[in-house]
Amino acid sequence: MELEATTIDIGTTRPLVLLNTADADELGVHPLDRVRIWWNGETTTGIVKRTDELVDAGTVGVTEPLHYVSGPVEVKHAGTPRSVRYVRKKLDDLELEAHELECIVEDIHENRLSDVELSAYVSAIYTNGLSLEETKHLTEAMSGVGQQLTWDAPVVADKHSIGGVAGNCVTPVMVAIVTEAGLTMPKTSSRAVTSPAGTADVMEVLCDVEFSIEEIQSIVAETNGCLVWGGGVDLSPVDDEIIRAENPLSIDPDGQLMASVLSKKRSAGSTHVVIDVPYGEGAKVESIVAARELSDDFKRVGDHLGMDVTCAITHGADPIGHGIGPALEARDVLEVLEGSGPESLRLKSLRLSELLLEHCGVDASATEILDSGRALERFRRIVDAQGGDPTIQSTDVEPGDESVTIRADRGGIASRVDSRQISDLARRAGAPLDRGAGVVIHQSAGDAVDPGDRLFTIRAETTSKLEEAAELADELEPIRVRSKADALIERR
């Protein structure tokens, strides 16, 4: 069928084509069927949406991923991608072969799967899991798609946390320590998806984080490291599509998690990686037994990929640091580098840095590098190389002007600081898009609390968002205050 292609914006990243119902009936296509489109000697595939109003008969509407298609085109019914058969196979709880996983990854990368089919894949992995062999093959396939970073250094250090702990911004401190010790550590990090701040959001308070591969290589040549947004360099891009499908249901199955983390590390050229696996109430991994099992599997998949992977099993029931949100976490990072700051952030940064240095075979003291001020100077060099102010101090970082402090209405013990609720409050206040928004925590688990003591302060950039966050705070209990007797029972 010959039609006229016209661009249309319906806010999707999928390669959808809108066909008038009359044309769709003539072609014999139903919603989510595929059509092949020929124009100017080239061809592409689109996923069908039928409409009576958005496009006229004789016209095919192409969404943003297909905006390069225009003018007269020929449209024909196309078959279902082969990978859909393999998604059904996994839904039946059958193990997938390496070539089947490669096919799924390729079709996700080429946008051949509809949102429904991609969701079915994620649901199949969540429900039936991945074997260790499947995880190895999936990771290898994902890391083979997209751009690759390469380095001359024989040892390239890296670190990743599986997440779930508010304020866990140890990465900037670690990069400063490890690069000052002489190692190469080109850290590509994510922006927040469901959390109040990713490492890239925190660093963007202080400097630029979006660079080309050539610019990243120049920064690393100058400073030994970088702290940049990984999404700007197309590393393991299939992972980003899968995460987009996982987020609405807040699921992150272990096999896919390992493939996600290690495919990006391999694409970034990392050779030695420390994985932070927090466990505890509210964390992604709730028991130490499960944390150990996950850690062992991370190491096995790393071995398969030729990466030296070790894991740190850390306490993840409580937030790390005082501030939750981009500016507040950036302030905590600078305070630690300056020699003060939250003790929880300082200690975890040192522990993971010592582990990474030892893992890479470097005989250096993370504590000495931090306490001497050398890490701060190295961090400032990285900030400078990334277009920031090299003289930046913690006191220069200002959170949002709007604030409200929640105080204890009774005395006792702070028996629990809930990472998830704290994160929900920070996001309601505007984080991470509003960099100054977030939550400042005034009490830690185990602290004695008197009536009227500050529990936490919400910071926002607008009055309306502050009011929304304050209303949510009334419904939640981010910091539990219990009598001493009740607190002892609760913590057992």
Sheet with 412-417, side-by-side order of all strands: 448-449, 412-417, 479-482
Torsions phi, psi of 324, nearest 5? Answer: -125, 115
Contacts of 421 (CB under 8 A, 6+ apart): 476, 477, 478
Q: How many CB atoms lie within 10 A of CB 289?
A: 10
For 99-132, give the DSSP string: HHHHHHHHHHHTT-S-HHHHHHHHHHHHHH---H
**Annotation marks residue 252 as catalytic:** yes
β-bridge pairing 16-20 and 157-161: unpaired
> Which is catalytic among the residues 107, 158, 239, 252?
252
Instruction: Say how far apart CA 441 and CA 367 lie, in whole Å.
Output: 25
Q: How many CB atoms lie within 10 A of CB 488?
A: 12
Give the CA count within 13 Å in the CB-facing half-sphere of 252: 20
Radius of gyration of the chain (CA): 25
CB 446 within 8 A of CB 315: no
CB 247 within 8 A of CB 115: no
Active site residues: 252
